[in-house]
Structure 1
Amino acid sequence: MSTFAAKRLQKEMAKIHQGLAPGIFFVNSPNLQHWQMDIQVLDSNPLYAGKTFRLNFRFSNNYPIEAPEVTFIRAPDREIPMHPHIYSNGIICLDLLSSGNGWSPVQSVESVCMSIQSMLTGNTKNERPEGDEAFVLREGRSVRDIRFVYDDPTV
């Protein structure tokens, strides 16, 4: 891991141990390049009431210039949330997580978790993305290799 990435992650880890935003919990980090975080939706969204979800973060040598790979994972008492932008294999379609226009080096693990919390909070559809079954059958590729097309209905 590059010195810059390692220093940034050490700084973020120190901040995490001082405290996190409500509904965000550090789970573990076997090394600097791989972290797990739990998140809860704190509002009264009935789709996620009482549930906790686990996020897996993988950091490249280019972090924070490059976005981390972030996916939901199954764990004991943890499921992958139903959402129109979350595939059943845990891959999240969120522009913030693309190293293109959505990501900024000012983002952090905590701010990513907060953005995903917000995404879940606003959801009203208990469904997977269109084409979920075909998408998850294409195994063996990195999350970084996926290029989502984001549709902005306001344009």
Structure 2
Amino acid sequence: MRLSVLNQVPIGQDSTPEEALNQAVELVKITEDLGYTRYWVAEHHNTNGLASSSPEILMTRLAGATSSIQIGSGGVLLPQYAPLKVAENFRMLEAMYPERIDLGLGRSPGGSNETRLALTDHIKKSMSSFPRQLEELYGCLYISREHS
């Protein structure tokens, strides 16, 4: 059986975001030492008590602190971003940490309506675009690489 961890990076009472992020680094080291397969971090915006608004940045720190465990996003909220930018971020991570990066995607709106609009620069994006975005992301990750 393979074991994995999904960490939302909670900020404990009387704690700081910096302490929560440092605890996430310590936890990934422990899970790697115990032989876990994957360590994923969630994406949450404008949420009190969670320090996980940018999985890509946190994944860089986690992968740098470990040597073999898979590091992933659980998941990047694709409806809030351009598929090309997501592909570029994860291709960069994969180049820095070959065969250790997992891209998990979510279709959640990312929080309240106000938060969602702030993430999309006040452009109302339809959640029904998710299938098209998945196809575009796939093309950016794989098809464009084949033609490079």
1 or 2, which has the higher strand percentage? 1
Please say whether Structure 1 and Structure 2 have the same fold, judged by a TM-score greater than 0.5. no
Give the TM-score, by structure 2 length: 0.29
